[in-house]
Chains A and B, each alone.
Chain A
Amino acid sequence: DVKVTQSSRYLVKRTGEKVFLECVQDMDHENMFWYRQDPGLGLRLIYFSYDVKMKEKGDIPEGYSVSREKKERFSLILESASTNQTSMYLCASSLYSGRTGLTEQYFGPGTRLTVT
């Protein structure tokens, strides 16, 4: 069974704090993703990584950075948290099986971050 775990289910931080969200997968997947989910906006891609040390910006990377030093771990960093980063953060991973192959994503349980 593929398992994607996230370091916290709930997190409360103050404006200006540096925040680390960690995601670990145990199935040797090449691809890992960070999304934020907000009502009415669906899941918006922040960053993704298709190999160790490889990272690509998604659609809303501003205010975020990522780190992937090991294949199984993908960290999302909020350098200076702001109230507009209050959201549900979802991590996902997938196995690459070719450009048109089926590579469904496996999601973690999510981290609900509140920035006050």
Chain B
Amino acid sequence: AQKITQTQPGMFVQEKEAVTLDCTYDTSDQSYGLFWYKQPSSGEMIFLIYQGSYDEQNATEGRYSLNFQKARKSANLVISASQLGDSAMYFCAMREGRRGTSYDKVIFGPGTSLSVIP
């Protein structure tokens, strides 16, 4: 069965510093994708970054990068140069498909609360 683990319930980081949010996953599928979403206190879910299981390069989007280690089944999010607006909940998610259909199952981890300190 699929499972996502985020072992850091809460994290603090100094403004302008880099921070790594951990995510490990468990799946028996060879084809899957990994996402990170941000949820600020306003409640909306904001897509940040995606990594497909067959992508050879680690994904990057601006200040966000995904440190993908397939053998270790980890997909950590790195935020460089933290800003006060980065304070939010961060969720790691995984999708699994099924060959020949548009079947798409996406599950989420429990989240990490990030607080950026001025």
CB distance from B40 to the nearest CB of A (A): 13
Chain A 89-113 interface mask (CB, 8 Å, partner B; 1/0): 0101010101111111101011000
Q: Given A50-B101, A50-B102, A100-B31, A105–B107 Cβ distance below 8 Å?
A: no
* Interfacial chain B residues near A31, Cβ < 8 Å: 102, 104
Question: Which residue on B lies nearest to A105, using beta carbons?
Answer: B106
Q: Nearest chain A CB to B11's CB is how many angstroms away?
A: 15
B58 within 8 A of A: no
Candidates A35, A40, A96; contact of B104 at CB < 8 Å: A96
Interface size on A, residues (CB 8 A): 31
Residues of A22-57 whose CB lies within 8 A of B? 30-31, 33, 35, 40-45, 48, 50-51, 56
Q: How far is the CA of A109 from the CA of B107 in the complex (A)?
A: 18
Expressed in whole angstroms, the Cα–Cα distance for A44 and B32 within the complex equals: 18
A59 contacts chain B at the CB level, 8 A cutoff: yes
Give A residues with C-beta under 8 Å from B. Answer: 30-31, 33, 35, 40-45, 48, 50-51, 56, 58-59, 90, 92, 94, 96, 98-105, 107, 109-110
